[in-house]
Every structure is written in structure tokens, then in C-alpha cells.
Amino acid sequence: ETGVTQSPTHLIKTRGQQVTLRCSSQSGHNTVSWYQQALGQGPQFIFQYYREEENGRGNFPPRFSGLQFPNYSSELNVNALELDDSALYLCASSFSTGNTEAFFGQGTRLTVV
Amino acid sequence: GIQVEQSPPDLILQEGANSTLRCNFSDSVNNLQWFHQNPWGQLINLFYIPSGTKQNGRLSATTVATERYSLLYISSSQTTDSGVYFCAVTSNTGKLIFGQGTTLQVKP
């Protein structure tokens, strides 16, 4: 059974650029959620995807968007990067959207300069 | 929305000591998880514990859902226990709401 994997692990981008982060869900899981963790803070929910549809969104602007593919892997896209977007981005997968345990990948550390 | 508060924010222990971390939440929840964040940032699952008590080696957790709190016990702490411990809850929306974490440092 493979766990949740994210790529890349580290990334440096320039303000105004666009970035795509990728996540492969754990085998058997159909739900992927993305979180942003600023330094010294707890992770904040960005959005969740269930069976290729967005299923809930946190307080993030529309320049944060995502996709989920038929194999349940997912992408997080951020347009017009701002310095405050520098953070650790975490992906979690779970068996469903309900009361099931979530498992996290190792994260992508994004630095915007 | 649901608020999650963890205490203490920071904790320093000598190796071998025991500790208790607390997580309070402001409303009824459907799920509660405890995580340990390693130095590389990955969140490691410790417990999925909406209610009741569970034990895994030197760690145990208790959630009293009716009183809206959970406790994580670490016994005979080791230096490898150092890191940040997060409590996270979900309501019927399915998203995890995290506390601010407890930073634990275990000294040899």
C-alpha cells in the first residue's frame, strides 16, 4: 500500500508567477484535501476534492485552484504568486469525505521571492 | 466555526519524563486526530480518536466528546519525541480544523 506522495518537495518562485503542486493519494482513497501551513501556525484548509469535484473550500482567493484526476491524484494551482503564499503545502487523502482518518504527504515547501 | 485550542504552546522535558498535552474544541465534532509533525514537515498520524481511549506504545490518548476535550499522554519521553504535536477536528464539513500546536523539546 503506497502512502500519500507530493511533488516537488521544495520550490522557489518569483512573485507574479504561477505554480502547480501535485499529490498522489493513498491507495483506495478517493478524497484529497489541501492545506497551507505558514511558519509557526497550524495548517489551514484550502479545499477538498471528491471524485473529481470540489467539495468544500476554505477562505482562500480564486487564484488558488485545483483539480482531481480519475485516479484520484490531485493538483493545486496558484496564480499570481504573492510573497505571503510562501508556506508548506500539505495534501491529505482519505477514504471518503465523511468521518474517516486523513493521511498526509510530506508536503511541498514553497518560497516566493 | 469550530475553534481548537491546544495547551501548553511549548513544553520542555528531560528524557524519561511524562507529559500531557491538551486539546479543547468549541463545538461538537465528528472526528479528532492527533498528529506529530516531524522536522521535515510531514504530519505523522498518532491517533484517530473521536471518543474514548486508545494506546500505542508509550503514547495514549483520551477524548471526552461530551466535554469537548482530548488529551495526549506521552510517557518515558525520548529525544525522538521532540517536534510539534497537532490536534485536528472535523465537523460535518469534512475539513480538518487544526489547533496551533504544542512544541515539545525533550532534552537528553
pLDDT of residue A1: 55
pLDDT of residue A68: 97
Q: b or e along B41-53 (b: 16 or more beta carbons within 10 Å of the residue's beta carbon)?
A: bbbeebbbbeeee
Residue B75 has pLDDT above 90, yes or no: yes
Residues 23-62 of B with CB under 8 A from A: 30-31, 33, 35, 40-43, 45, 48, 50
Give the pLDDT mean for A68-91.
Answer: 97
Name the minimum distance, in Å, from the CA of A80 to any CA of chain B: 25
Residues paired with residue B102 on neighbouring β-strands, in sequence order: B85
CA B84 vs CA A70, A86, A101, B43: distances in Å: 35, 20, 19, 9
Which among B68, B104, B63 is positioned nearest to B86, based on CA atoms?
Answer: B104
Give the pLDDT mean for A54-83.
Answer: 96
pLDDT of residue B62: 98
Q: Does B21 touch chain A (CB under 8 A)?
A: no
pLDDT digits (tens, 9 = 90+) for B3-15: 999 999 999 999 9
pLDDT of residue B15: 97
Exposed, middle or buried: residue A72 (CB in 10 Å: 0-12, 13-18, 19+)? Answer: buried
- Mark yes or no for CB contact B96/A104 under 8 Å: no
CA B76 vs CA A81, B23, B25: distances in Å: 45, 21, 27
Q: How high is the mean pLDDT of chain B?
A: 95
Which residues of chain B lie closer than 8 angstroms to A106, CB-CB? Answer: 40-42
A6, A108 contact by CB (below 8 A): yes
Nearest CA in chain B to A48: B95
- Mark yes or no for CB contact B31/A35 under 8 Å: no
Give the pLDDT mean for B21-32.
Answer: 94
Substitution target in A45, A91, A108 with the highest count of B β-carbons within 10 Å is A45
Substitution target in B29, B95, B98, B100 with the highest count of A β-carbons within 10 Å is B95
* Alpha-carbon span A19 to A35, nearest angstrom: 15
